[in-house]
Amino acid sequence: MLDGKVALITGASQGLGRALALAYAKEGARVVINARGEEGIRRVAEEIEASGAEALALAADVSKGDEVDGLVEAATRRFGRIDVLVNNAGVLGPRVEILEYPEEEWRRVIDANLTGPFLVSKTVAPHMPEGGSIVNVVSGVSIEGRAEWGAYSVSKFGVEGLTQILASELEERGIRVNAVDPGGMRTDMRAAAYPDEDPMTRVTPEENTEVFLYLASDESRSVTGQRFKAQEFR
């Protein structure tokens, strides 16, 4: 399905990002995996390479332009191009009301969740050939504001808008841009957001990759500016 494609996935040391890296590699992609820390992505790279696929692990903070430049430069130096970008990296931030929200935490969450996808998309797009695909990970709280979701919700609302703008601006170049709401999954972030929830009632990230595979493949070549719910995709 993805033979020969080069995919860059941010936030790939655990959870959905790790699951997508493994799923893409299984389908024949060469995978560039990114997170802020080296140890987690190194382990994922070892998993991918053990399966016979090719992986490049690059640590970088995607909210910082100079680090994004270094990330993309290293990826393209190795593989020559990037066919697929998944903007998955993100942080939850505190679950408190806006009036109690610390300014430093607000800036940290907005930078990670919104500035990051902006910087990575802006830097990767010039290295994408026609038929390239950008996939932005959104949320149930990116189209409906809810109490005590603060900067996380606001940042994901921003990613929804970024998706639509990029889809319009890149369409002439043959690059598609779509958003995916993965829904509730059995992840550490979900557990932090809903500490009283039984995680076994949720799907695993590995069970939730189908729409991401579709959007990375040539099957979705004409699909852009759309929003998908991963757990409703068939």
> For residue 129, how many other CB atoms are within 10 A of its CB?
13
152 flagged as catalytic? yes
Which ranges in 35-134 belong to alpha helices (H)?
A: 38-50, 65-79, 103-110, 116-124
Any idea how long the chain is? 234
| Contact yes or no for 82/123 (Cβ under 8 A) | no
Cα gap 10→159, rounded to integer Å:
15
Inter-residue contact 162 to 209 (CB < 8 Å)? no
Give the number of other Cβ atoms within 10 Å of residue 191's Cβ. Answer: 13
Catalytic residue, from 101, 152, 194, 214: name it. Answer: 152
**Count of Cβ atoms closer than 10 Å to residue 204 Cβ:** 15
Sequence-separated (6 or more) residues with CB below 8 Å from residue 154: 110, 145
CA distance 174 to 193: 38
- The residues annotated as belonging to the active site are 152
